Amino acid sequence: MHVQRRGLMLVLSSPSGAGKTTLSKRLLSKDNDITMSISATTRPPRPGEVHGQDYLFLQEEDFQKMVSQGEFLEHAVVFGNHYGTPRGPVEQALKTGQDVLFDIDWQGTQQLDEAAGDDLVKVFILPPSGSVLEERLKTRAQDSDEVVAVRMAKAADEISHYPEYDYVIVNDDIDIAEQELESILRAERLRRTRQVGLSAFVAEITG
């Protein structure tokens, strides 16, 4: 028998180049019980981006109205544009036992922690070494050494927040990292406090 369960909020954070996006895509493609959180933003859509699928594209006025009404679980300004996680769709998903995946930084995670409490599971992805991270950034970005140096400094700042997370995965091998992430999700789904249908199930067993 399937015991009714409350969904959880799974946060993945990492410095750029540590493999977070790849892990997110793999998890979403294999697991139907988890969905990606869609953020709202005031920045204009990029070519190919779809409203309601990639982001909720809002006017500044509408975004600020949602802020004032407490409709965001977390929100921040990034490069002059506002980004936020709408509360309604996330809470609705959790009620139905659907898990929600978040790709946000440590600042957004801190805000979510205050808003979500026990619903939140925080995972930080680390690269296997500084040299590997630097190589990934150089290969991926095709940027100058100066730009890579700035990104490495930003990565060091992000990595310093790893103690704020529940779990840490060192992504040396993407397949192993994926298995570790799946194990975390499997265990967290089995937490007694998330299995809201347990008391009725146990009562049925014990008669």
pTM above 0.85, yes or no: yes
Distance CA 77, CA 23 (A): 25
Q: Is 145 exposed, middle or buried (0-12, 13-18, 19+ CB in 10 A)?
A: exposed
Query: In the chain, what are the domains?
Result: 9-37+97-206 (3.40.50.300)
Distance CA 34, CA 6 (A): 12
Q: What is the pLDDT of residues 20-42, one digit of tens each?
A: 999 999 999 999 999 999 999 99
Give, for 83, the enclosing helix (H) or strand (E).
Answer: strand 81-86
Q: How far is CA 118 from the centre of its chain?
A: 15
Half-sphere exposure of 4 (CA within 13 A, CB side): 9
Q: What is the pLDDT of residues 122-181, one digit of tens each?
A: 999 999 988 888 887 777 656 678 888 888 888 899 999 999 999 999 999 999 999 999
